[in-house]
Amino acid sequence: MPALDSTTLRRHATGLIAVDAERSAGGYTLFAPQTADGNVFLINLRGEQVHHWKLPQRPGRDAVILANGNLGYNGNHPDSPDLFAGWAVWHGGAFSEVTPEGEVVWQHTDLAHHHDAQWLANGNLLYTTAEPLPEAIARRVQGGIPGSEAPGGVIYGDVVKEVDRSGTLVWQWRSWEHLAPEDYPLHACFERYHWPMTNAVTPGRDGKVILSLRSVSSVIAVDKASDRVLWRLGHDLVAQQHCPSELDDGRILVFDNGISRPHVSMPHSRVIEVDPHAQRIEWQYADTPGYAFFTPFMGGAQRLHNGNTLITEANFGRLFEVTRAGEVVWEYINPHFAAYPDAAARAYLPGENNAIFRAHRYQAQDIPWLRD
């Protein structure tokens, strides 16, 4: 008998698991494995690679195809300072626009960047950064693991930035200037070095920006014109969530991780569609039993043109598409495994993995240069 692979996840099936081409939305799926050394893959519905890019940095989380057909890449900048445990894994800071042939045509650097970034239709870049909280604000941050602040007792707060093509700052939103720490306490399982941990920033309609505040289980909408918070989804609806996006009818699609839910003993993930004004879940996808679908961090959900939803079960490299009725019509497991290349990231997340922060589905008309 051959020796067993010691990496548990790699012993499972990888690649294309199943496809129902008639009920799938079709198209091409883009993903950037977190540990695949800067390789970004585009696959068709059959799970076959139809294109790939090789970037000099591993992902600082994500990659997308822009309206002009180029790749928008969020790379993990090697010069970003090590602010606290975990920073090495989820910071980015090296933004690049890259042609299908691999030519870099635009770059932007911000060493304070972490987690999400959105490439806007006007060419601007919207993203999250971290700055030390003023001491008076930091003293008001409640909850979290006692004594787990960053070195020197520092707590970092989130700042959302928008820059234009010249790198000029055109909008900025400091979390502590608009959110009272007492109203957004950290969960007991999270470290106190980062509040409220904005892991997603998404443009909405009518000048809104939608933010996911993971460590306090909240999704908020910010009006860019006034900087005020328009509405909030709280811990009665979401739990340590990621990837909120506004749908055409104004509902919010959220990947709800579910490490800890009020009055629920079994951790499980789900994807929910929420009416933010009625504060009501209108649709959800969850597996049966619930624990069969779970990722403790990262994750994504994208509503597709035919009403299906593309889901990223991030920590397990699992991409799958479900119908409105919750039926799986496409499933693919990332076959690319590796450990994080840098020591700080490996110390925080040791071992080999095939994790994907978020995947994206595109139709043929979105990729006019592609010949499949």
Going 99 to 366 to 253 to 30, the CA torsion angle's sign is negative
What is the chain's mean pLDDT, rounded?
96
With beta carbons less than 8 A apart as the criterion, state whether 349 and 340 touch. yes
What's the token pair of residue 282?
């209108």
As a whole number of angstroms, the distance between CA 165 and CA 316 comes to 35
* pLDDT score, position 210: 98
Res. 147: pLDDT tops 90: yes
Give 1's pLDDT tier (boundaries 50, 70, 90): low
Residues 6+ positions from 242 with CB-CB distance below 8 Å: 199, 200, 212, 214, 254, 255, 257, 297, 298, 299, 300, 314, 358
Residues of the chain with pLDDT > 70: what percent? 99
Q: Starting from the edge strand earliest in sequence, which strands make up the sheet with 28-31, in order? A: 49-54, 39-43, 28-31, 360-362
Class of domain 16-366: mainly beta
Half-sphere CA count of 342, side-chain side, radius 13 A: 18
Q: What is the DSSP letter of 27?
A: S
- 216 token code pair: 């306090």
- Region of 322 please: left (phi>0), alpha (psi -120 to 50) or beta: beta
95 strand-pairing partners: 74, 108
DSSP 8-state code for residue 300: E
pLDDT of res. 8: 87
SS3 116: strand
49 Cβ partners below 8 Å, 6+ apart? 41, 42, 43
Helix (H, G, I), strand (E, B) or coil at 275: strand
Percent share of the chain, pLDDT over 90: 96
Task: Say if residues 285 and 308 touch (Cβ distance below 8 Å).
Answer: no
DSSP lists the bridge partners of residue 252 as 246, 274
Confidence of residue 2 (pLDDT cuts 50, 70, 90): low
Residue 84 has pLDDT above 90, yes or no: yes
